Amino acid sequence: MTKLSAFTALVAGASAASLPVFNPFTGAPKLDPKVFETKPIHTISLTDIVELVRNQTDAPKPEAQFGTFAAAATCSNPRVRVEWDDSTDTQKQNYVNALKCMLGRPSKGNYPGSKNRYEDFVQVHQAVTDNVHNNRKFMVWHRAFLWAFDETLRSECGFTDSLLWFDETKYPGRFSQSSVFSSRWLGAINLGGNCVTDGQFANLALNIGPGTGNSYHCLARNGNAADTSNVNSNIVNGCQALNSYQDFARCSEQGAHAYGHNGIGSVMRDVYASPGDPVFWLHHAMVDRHFRVWQNLDGSRVNYINGEGPGGQPLTMDTPIYLNGLKPDLKVQDIMNTLGGFLCYRYNY
């Protein structure tokens, strides 16, 4: 069976819908790694985090902005997002198959440059990047984005297994030693900006990005251990020790999140179109898990938000979260509690 026919069979088996043949695994040109440095990914040092923790004040807890929403909506049977190393090979393969299904489905339209359903999500991220990065809306918008992706895997690709996450803190400075970046799964990381030619996304062609433009290019990675060495427990725990949402959200965006993107590099280094690399979802599930752990430290944290969003506008529980048609738009209050009836998921640790 050829690679094209095998891919077509996989897509057909993942959905009962009639799909046109689409094969994104055709190879594409390598781009200079510099073109992916489209927008600074600001980082925060451990020294700066320690200073933030030392200088924070024990201010009174903010009043809940949405009453007893979290307590009232607690779900009884949450999905469990499983860490990559704790998942079975069957779970890993089911997850990879669902992503491939998305790559084989046609775009829904209204997503300029997208060639498939997967790239609809990449294009939305590209379009909203300036509104949901480098401000405190980052955490809540990406939680909603990840939820929308999970729901689409289920509704359009028949995915019924766990959304996976990658605990990168187990591999600081040595991401290549994780099976995530093996030839069996997502392919190599230490490529110096070259195309990924092994693993289940070998020779993947991308059409969204770099930056705000669109060009045909390969999935590429760089691999920088100096950056990934900062995806460690000290950085994560330091952010967890911050009391206010706005401080935690800034620290999380500039801490493990930023170092992971910079360290994997190339497509992941592109702030706008980084979801083009399938590792994006594992990485951001880890970031969302850090958010949930921080919320678990104080039950009131699911009931309020502070800090500024895009344009310096104060965030409230009524602040809208725009998903550009991927799913209906939400409000912050909808996604603050992962154990609420709307989301209903948790992490395995």
pLDDT for residue 7: 46
Tell me how many degrees the CA angle 114-168-232 measures, rounded to the nearest 5.
130
Instruction: Give the whole-angstrom CA distance, residue 163 versus residue 150.
Output: 7
pLDDT digits (tens, 9 = 90+) for 198-234: 999 999 999 999 999 999 999 999 999 999 999 999 9
Residue 72 has pLDDT above 70, yes or no: no
pLDDT for residue 73: 58
Share of the chain above pLDDT 90, in %: 84
328: pLDDT confidence band, cut at 50, 70 and 90? very high
pTM of the complete model beyond 0.85: yes
pLDDT for residue 62: 55
pLDDT for residue 340: 87
71: pLDDT confidence band, cut at 50, 70 and 90? very low
Instruction: Give the whole-angstrom CA distance, residue 312 versus residue 309.
Output: 6
Instruction: Give the whole-angstrom CA distance, residue 173 versus residue 168.
Output: 9
For 167-204, b/e burial (b = at least 16 CB within 10 A) is bbbbbbbebeebebbeeebbbbbebebbbbebbbbbbb
Residue 91 has pLDDT above 70, yes or no: yes
Residue 22 has pLDDT above 90, yes or no: no
pLDDT for residue 61: 57
Average pLDDT in the chain: 91
Top CATH class, 3-347: mainly alpha
What average pLDDT score do residues 92-99 get?
Answer: 98
The alpha carbon of 260 is separated from its chain's Cα centroid by a whole number of angstroms, namely 11
